[in-house]
Structure 1
Amino acid sequence: MVHRIIVINCMVLLTAISASCQSVKADQVWKAQGSNLEVEYRQNTKAVPQYEVFEISFKHENEYVNPFFDVTIDVIFTSPSKKQLRVGGFHYGSSSKPSINKRKTKTDKGERQQISYDFDKQDMWKARFAPSELGKWKYDFVLRNVNGKEVSGSGVFNCVKGRKPNPGFIRRHPTNPFRLVLDDGSPYFPIGLQDCWGDNSGSGSVLDQCSMEGPFRTDRKEPPPLPPGPLFVRGPSENPQNADVYFRRFSQCGFNLYRFSQQNCSYQIYEDLDNYLVQEGIMTDELLCCARKYGFGVFYGIFGYKKVFNGDPYNKAGLAKVKRFIKYSVDRWGAYVDFWEFLNEQKADDRWYEIMVPYIKSIDPYHHPVTTSWERPELDGIEINAPHWYQRENEFESDAITASRAKNWKKYNMPVVVGEQGNHIDKRKPQPPGVGGVWDDRSALRMRIRNWSALFNEIVFIFWNTSYARDGHFMNIWLGPKEREYVRAMQDFAYYLDKDVRMVDVKVSQPKAVRAYGLASKKCAGVYLHHFSSHTKPLKSLRITLDIPAAAKGYWYCPENAAILKTVDVSAGANRLEVPEFTVDIAFLVTQAGPPDIDKDGRPNNLDTDDDGDGVPDKEDAFPLESQEWRDKDGDWIGDNLDADDDGDGVADDWNKNGIPDYEELDIDGDGVDRAKSVPWDVFPLDPKEWRDTDGDGIGDNSDLDDDNDGYSDQEERKRGTNPLDKLSFPT
C-alpha cells in the first residue's frame, strides 16, 4: 500500500464526529398535551432548502406492545399556495442507543455471527417531508394511540432556495419517454451501482464495512490454477473499507444512482409483516443519507426477496399488512428515494399489482416512479421497465447485443433501468483459467462498450458490484479503478449533452467494420463508433455523415481516457466528417459549451497534463482519470492505495515495518480513528490530518472552508451562531 503521508503515533482529539448523515436537531422543544397523552416534539430546522428533508421528532414515554402500530401520526403540510399534502409519521426507535449483543451460531455453512439490538425504551417517532415550493409552510399533526387517545400540535418553517440548490428528485422526461430529468429541469444520465450490506462488525451500522477491489482469493479450497501475469495473483485484500471511501470513489467517477432493497444480499428490515426491526430501520436511514450525501439518486426496493402474498391477492388480511409496510416505507423513506421497486426477481399475480400500484401512488406525496422485478412493463401504473441482464458476450458484439436488447425493452414506451447488470458464467461448466464469475481481463472493456451503447440507446445500467475478490460468485461484476476511469470518461462526455437529446441516424463509410450510434437535440449532438471487426488493428480512412443541429465545435473524444483527439468546425445540416484513426471505439461531441474539461480546472483535456487533478501528471499516473489512485506498482489494475500487496508477490505489505500486515492495521495513518469496524470511522484512512468529511465533497473538514456545503463558510456560521456541520443550520 502506498500512502500520501504517514505519521505513526499521531493522536488527535475527536469532537462531534457524526457517523450518520442525519442533521443535528434544533434546540427548541414544544409540548403537546391532550387525552392524558404527553408528547414533546421538535423540528430539525426552521428553514429548509428546497427538496432537502424537514423532520419532526416526537418523544412519547408511554409503553406499547408494538410501537410501530400502536401509535399513528398524521401530518398535514400546507404550502405557501395553500395546497395540502398528507404525510404519515413512523416509529423511529429510542432516544437512547441500543445494547448490542453478539453470539456465534453453527449453521450448515459453518459458524455465523448473530447480532441483536436491545433498547431500554421505545420513545421516538418521526415525520419527514421534502418541500418543493418556496415560502412559508405550516404543518398540523395528530398523534393517536391504540387506546383511542390523541394529541395534536402544529408548527411552521420556511422553504428557501439555498446557496447550493438541490436539483430535486428524478423524474420522467416530459416529452421523451425514455429519458430522465431532475425536478429543476436539468438532464440526468444515470449509471447505477448496488452492493451487499450488513452490520458485520456488530457496531449498529452497515457503513463501517465495505468491500472494494480485492484480488483472487487465498482461502479457497483446491483453487484452480491461474494464468501467468500480474492480473492473476492470489493475495490479501485491503478490506474492509468504509462507506465514505466507497461512495466517494464511485461518485467521483460519475456513478450517480444507487439501488438497495432489503434481504437482497442485505439485512432484513422486518422479521415478518407484524414485527418491524428498529435498528435495521435506522441503518437504512443512514445508508440512504450517505448515498444522497455523495450525489446518488436512490432506487429503493421495498420487499426484495420477501414473500408478501404475491400469489394470494384475495387474502385481505395479508394484503392489509403488505399495505401497512408500504405506507411505513413511503412515510419513512419517501423523502430520500427517487424510485419505488416493489419486488426483486419475483413473480406476483396481476391482481396483486392492481391493488398495490394504485395504493402506493395514492399515499406518495412525491409521485416517485414505480417499478418491480421481475419486470412487468405491460401493467397499468408501472412507469419504469426494470429487467435484469447478466452476460459474458463476445466483446465485438457488446454494442450490438446492448442495442438489440434496448430496442426490445423500449417497446413499452417508458424509461428502461436495467436493475441488475454484470457478468455471468455457467458454474456447471469448466471455465478458462483466470475467469471468475465477476471478472476476467476483458470485463472492463466489455463494460465500457456496453455503457456507451446504453447511453446512445437511451437505457440505464445498474451494476451489481461484487469486488471483494476477482473469483467471487458466478455472476455480478468486479469494479476497480480501470472500470471507474471508463465510467468517468463517459459521464464527462454525457455532461455536455442536454436533456432533449434523442437517437438519430449516423452513416458510416465502412459498415462492415464499424457500428455507429447517434444522439442529437436542437443544440448539441453526439456519436459513438465501435470498431467491431478488430480491437487490435487501427482503423483508418473512416468517414461518417451526420446532421448537425447548429454550427458549433466538434470534438473527437477517446472513451478510454477522455482525450480530445481532434477539434473541427461543423455547420448546421448534413456534415461529412473524417474520423481520426482509432482501434476499439471513439466518440464525437458537438457542443457550443466549449471543449471537455474532465476535472473542471479551466483547462480542456487536450491541454491539461493532470486530468484527474491528483497532482500526478497523466504521463506518470497509472490511473489518470481516478483521482484517488496514481500508482500500480505490480500492474494488477488495483491502485496501490487500496492494494494490500503492491508488488504482487502474494505476501501482504508491511509499509511501516512493524511486523503487522498493513491490511490488518485499522489505523494505518495513526490519527486515532480506525478505517473500519468502528463508529465513527476514518473517512480518509491514509491521511493523518483528516478523518471526517461532513458534506462528502472529498475535502476533509479540517481543510474545508464550508464543511456542510450549505454555501456559508464555517467562519461565517460561527459568527452568526449556526452549526457549520449541519447543512440545515445556516444564517437566515
Structure 2
Amino acid sequence: MTIRTKRGVLAAVAALSAAACFALPVATSLSAKNVARHDVLEITFVHSNEYENPFMDAAVDVVFTSAGGREMRVGGFYHGSDEAPVVMAVTQANGRAELGYAYRRHDLWKARLAVPETGEWSYVFTFTNMAGGRATGSGRFACTAGGAACHGFLRINPSNAFRWVHDDGTPFYGVGLQECLGDNGRSGSLLAGMNLEGPFRENRPASWPPLPEGPLFLQGPGGGLVNGDIYFRRYTQCGFNLFRYSQNNCSPKLFNEYDRYLPHECRMVDELLQRVRAYGLRVMYGLFGYQNVHQDAPEDERKMAGVKRFVKYSVDRWGAYADIWQLLNEQVATSAWYAVIVPYLRSIDPYRHPVTTSWERPELDGIDVNAPHAYQTEHPLISDSMTARNAARWKAFGKPVIVGEEGNRVVMTNAPPGSGGVWDPASAQRMRVRLWAALFNEMSFIFWNTSYAKDGHYMNIWLGPYERQHVSALQAFSRRLDAAVKMATPVLSDTNTARAYGLASAECAAAYLFHSSTHTAPLANLAVTIDVPRDGAAYWYNPADGAIVTAMTAAAGIQTFTAPSFVVDLALLVTAAGAPDNDNDGAGNDVDQDDDNDGVPDTFDVFPLEPSESKDTDGDMIGDATDADDDGDGIPDDANANGIPDFKEMDMDGDGVPRAHALPWDAFPDDPNEWRDADANGIGDNAQCP
C-alpha cells in the first residue's frame, strides 16, 4: 500500500487512521552479518512511497541488544536513494546559482550503530508513518574483536582533563586538518576533486607584492588535483589523525529550510565521513556551521523545535561516525540557546560524545571542549612561547583545548617578501614548533589546509611534504608516550638562550628544547635536568626529520643530559619502550635506514618521513610526485610525451578510471592494475583478492 500525504491534511489523515493501523511494505537488509567492534553496522529500509516530505512523514526506531543485555536505541533517518543523482544548476532566492541534485526514486531509510561490544546482537525495529502505517521486524548479527586499530571513540582522559584517550584507554595525541569541500567536478561527490600542494599562482593579483627570485617562489599550475583516497592517504600515513567538518563552512549546506533537508548533500557527507573513518581519522563534526539556528530566540519553542529536529537527524545519521559534536562555527549564541540545545543533544546521543562550539564558550557547564580559532604569522623566535601562553590561557577553564582552526595570516597587499598568506619560507618551521609546544602543553591543533597554491588565501596554511614530515616525526615521538603523561618542569643550564618544556609519567619522561635567541647559529653545550621514572634509554631526537641524533642508557632518578648542538629545536625521550619508529616496522629510527619504508634510503630521500615523496628536483618544497613542473623550467611535465601536460591528464595509467572528477575515481592513478582501495590500507583491492 502506498500512502500519499500532504502537510495540510496530515493531521486529518492520522486521525482517521488512528483507529485502524495498517501494515507498511518495508524491506530490510544489513550491511554485514559480522562487524568489527566500534565499526558501523547499517540497516537499510526500502519503502516505496509518495510522501510530500519523507524527512518528517515517516520515522524509524531501532533497539539493539547485546548478548550481555545492553540496550542501545537509535533513530533511523530518511536517506533518499541509492541511485546516482541528476546534477543541475539551481538558482537560489538571492540569484546565485548552486548545484542541485534530484532523484527519481525516494525510497530509502537507514539506521546506524557503532557497535561497542563483541558477541551476538539482536535488534527490533519499528517503521511508522503519520497516516498510521506500521512495520516491525527483527534480526541478528555478530560483533568481532576487530583489528589493532579499532580503539573506539575519543573520550576525555579521566585522569587528566586536558588529554584524550579512546574507549579502550589508548592515548590520543591529535593533529588535525580540514578543507574547503565542494562538488567541484559536478560528480555528486565531495571527494572526487580535492587538491594537494601547488606553487604560487600564475594569476597572482597585480596588487600583491612581487615575489623574490628563487625556486621557492616559482609560479605555475597546481598539479595536485586528486581524489579523496589519495588525499587522505597522504596525510594519514604521516600522522594526521583528526578531521573537522561542518556544513555551510566552505562546504555545502545540508538544509535550506527546517524539516526539509537536502538528501544528496547529506549523502555526500556520509561518503566523506566513511572514507575519513576508513583512513583512521577521528571526527569533530559541526552540526550547523554558519547556518541560522535562531540563536537569538531560544524562548521561541516553535523555532527551537525545528532546530532540535535537525539535531536529532544529525545524531541519527552521523553520530556513529563523529567523536566530538561542534554546534556552531564562529557564531554568537546566547547562554539560553545553549541551555536549550545542549541538554537535548545529550539526551538523544547514544554515544555520549563531548560537545564544543565556536565561537568558544568554555565557561558554560554544557560545553566540554574549548575550541578557539587562531590565525597568526608570529616571529619564528616566539612560536613556542606564544603557543605555551595561549595554552595556559585557554586551559584556565579546566577543559581540554582543541584549536578548531589554526593557520597563518597576513595582509596580502602588505605581505612580507615571499609570503603567500598560507605559506612563507618559515611556515613549515613555525608549524612544527607550534605542534611540539602544543604537545608539551596539553593542546591540539586542527589546521585549515589550503595547499592548492602557496598564495591560495590570506589565511589558513599550506600543508606540503615538509609539513607532513614534521607531523610524522611528532607522532612517532608521541607513540612512545603513555596515556598518563602530564606536564613537568625540566631545568635548563641556560635560560637566556633556550626554553624547555617537559612531560613525565611513571613510565617515561620527555623534554622539548627551543633555541630562543637566534636561528642562524647552533646552540651548543645546553644541559637539561629531568626526573627519570625508571631505567631505560635516552634518545636525542630531531623534530624536523625524526632522526635519532644520539642515544644512551638512562638510570632512574634525577639526571642531567647535555644536548647535542642544534639550531632551532631538539627533543629528548627517556623510555624503556624503544626508540621512535616512524614506519612502525619494528626497527626504530636509530637503526632503520628507510624510516618511511618507501624503498628510498633516508640518506637519498629528500623527504625521509613522507612515503609518497622522495625527490624535489627544483627545490620548491613540492615533491616530484605531485609537482606539475619538476625541474621548474616553466614548462609543465609531459612524461608520456603525448602533448598533454601531465597535470591535465586524468588517466595517466590508462586503466580507464580517471584520478579525479569522476565516479568511480582511481585511488592508484599510477598503477594500471589497481583503482580501488575499499579498506583504505594502501593496497589495491585487486592485489587483495584471493
1:103 Cα offset (Å): 7.3
How far did 1:437 drift? 1.3
Which residues of 2 match residues 213-612 of structure 1 at below 5 A?
213-222=197-206, 224-427=209-412, 430-612=414-596
Query: What residue number does 1:5 align with?
Result: none
How much does 1:95 deviate?
A: 4.0
Tell me if 1:46 matches 2:33.
yes
With over 3 angstroms needed to count, the CA separation of the structure-2 counterparts of 1:316 and 1:57, relative to structure 1, is same
Q: Which of 106, 110, 113 is equivalent to 1:129?
A: 113
Deviates more, 1:356-365 or 1:662-671: 662-671
Asked if structure 2 preserves the Cα contact closer than 8 Å seen for 1:692 and 1:700, the reply is yes
Secondary structure of the structure 1 residue equivalent to 2:437: helix
Within 1, Cα distance between the matches of 2:376 and 2:538?
A: 34
C-alpha distance in 2, partners of 1:386/1:133?
31
Determine if contact 2:55/2:259 at 8 Å carries over to the other structure.
no
Alignment pair present for 1:182 and 2:176: no
Shifted more, 75-84 versus 338-347: the winner is: 75-84
Q: Which moved more, 1:602-611 or 1:97-106?
A: 97-106
Q: Note the C-alpha offset of 1:104.
A: 9.5
C-alpha change, 1:95 and 1:489, in structure 2 (3 Å) is: closer
Please name the residue that 2:146 is paired with.
162
Deviation at 1:184, TM superposition (A): 0.9
Cα separation, 2, equivalents of 1:698 and 1:582: 36
- Distance across 1 between alignment mates of 2:329 and 2:173: 23
Alpha-carbon spacing, 1:253–1:671, altered in 2? closer, same or farther (3 Å): same
Q: Does 2:678 match 1:691?
A: no
Give the secondary-structure state (helix, strand or coil) at the position aligned to 1:48: strand
Higher mean alpha-carbon deviation, 382-391 vs 151-160, is at: 151-160
Contact 1:50–1:165 (CA under 8 A) maintained in structure 2: no
Report how far residue 602 of structure 1 moved.
3.3
3-state SS in 2 of match to 1:245: helix
Name the CA distance, whole Å, in 1 between partners of 2:508 and 2:567: 26
Q: Give the deviation of 1:347 after TM superposition.
A: 0.6
Larger mean Cα displacement after TM superposition, 690-699 or 550-559: 690-699
Q: Is the 8 A contact 2:60 2:127 kept in 1?
A: yes
Q: Is the 8 A contact 1:425 1:437 kept in 2?
A: yes
Q: In the alignment, which residue of structure 2 is the partner of 1:26?
A: none
Distance 2:424 2:466 in 1: 13
Given the superposition, is the C-alpha separation of residues 44 and 425 from structure 1 closer, same or farther in structure 2, using an over 3 Å criterion? same
Q: In 2, distance between residues paired with 1:399 and 1:703?
A: 46
RMSD after superposition: 1.7
Equivalent position SS for 1:684: coil
Matches within 5 A, 1:21-60: 35-60=22-47
1:239 is matched by which residue type in structure 2?
Answer: G
Which amino acid is 1:277 matched to? L
Match among 36, 43, 62 for residue 49 of structure 2: 62
State the Cα deviation string for residues 40-91 of structure 1 (Å, max 9, x = none). 1111122221111111111111210000110011111122222322110000
**In the TM superposition, what whole-angstrom CA distance separates every residue of 1:628-679 from its partner, at most 9, and x where no partner exists?**
0111110000001110011112221222211111111111122211110101
Secondary structure of the 2:619 match is coil
TM-score by length of 2: 0.95
Partner of 1:659: 643
Task: Report the equivalent of 1:101.
Answer: 88
Q: For residue 194 of structure 2, give the secondary structure of its aligned residue in structure 1.
A: coil
What is the rounded CA distance, in whole Å, between the counterparts of 2:543 and 2:461 in structure 1? 20
The one-letter code of the counterpart of 2:55 is F
Over 3 Å counting, the alpha-carbon distance change for 1:185 and 1:607 in structure 2 is: same
Q: Deviations over 1:142-189 (max 9, x none)?
A: 111121222211112222213556111111101100000011111111
**Cα 1:569–1:46, aligned 2, differ >3 Å: closer, same or farther?**
same
Q: Secondary structure of the equivalent of 2:25? A: strand
Deviations 1:688-708 (A, max 9, x none): 23222121111222334xxxx
- Tell me, what secondary structure is at the counterpart of 1:324? helix
Give the equivalent residue in structure 2 for 1:711: none
1:619 CA drift (Å): 1.9
Q: How far apart are 1:221 and its partner, in Å?
A: 4.0
Corresponding residue to 1:78 among 57, 65, 71: 65
| Secondary structure of the corresponding residue to residue 703 of structure 1 | helix
Note if 1:152 corresponds to 2:139: no
CA distance in 1, matches of 2:153, 2:285: 13
Partners in 1 of 2:275 and 2:83 — Cα distance?
22
Question: Contact conserved, 1:34 with 1:152, CA < 8 A, in 2?
Answer: no
- In structure 2, stretches of 5+ residues that fail to align are 1-19
Paired letter, 1:379:
L
Tell me if structure 2 keeps the 8 A contact 1:673–1:682.
Answer: yes
The gaps in structure 1 that reach 5 residues or longer are 1-32, 705-713, 716-732
Inter-partner Cα distance in structure 1 for 2:313 and 2:121: 24
Q: Distance in 1 between matches of 2:673 and 2:340?
A: 55
Aligned residue-pair number: 670
- Distance in 2, Cα, partners of 1:165 & 1:513: 42
Alpha-carbon distance between aligned partners in 2 of 1:483 and 1:442, rounded to the nearest angstrom: 11
Q: CA deviation at 1:538?
A: 0.9
Cα distance change on mapping 1:220 and 1:579 into 2, 3 Å: closer
Output the CA distance in 2 between the equivalents of 1:272 and 1:432: 45
Shift of 1:194: 0.1
Q: Which one is further off, 409-418 or 694-703? A: 694-703
What is the deviation of 1:107?
A: 9.6
Any residues of structure 2 matched to 1:172-211 within 5 Å, and which? 172-211=156-195
Structure 1 Cα separation of the partners of residues 63 and 90 of structure 2 = 44
Assess, with a 3 A threshold, how the Cα gap between structure 1 residues 306 and 107 changes in structure 2: closer, same or farther: closer
Distance 1:248 1:545 in 2: 40
Q: Percent identity?
A: 53
The one-letter code sitting in structure 2 at the alignment partner of 1:366 is Y
SS at match of 1:702: helix
Checking the alignment, whether the CA contact within 8 Å between 2:224 and 2:627 is kept in structure 1 is no
Is the counterpart of residue 675 in structure 1 residue 643 in structure 2? no
SS at match of 1:642: coil
Q: Structure 1 residues 600 and 426, CA, compared in 2 at 3 Å: closer, same or farther?
A: same
263-272 or 44-53, larger mean C-alpha shift:
44-53
| 8 A contact 1:34–1:151 mirrored in 2 | no
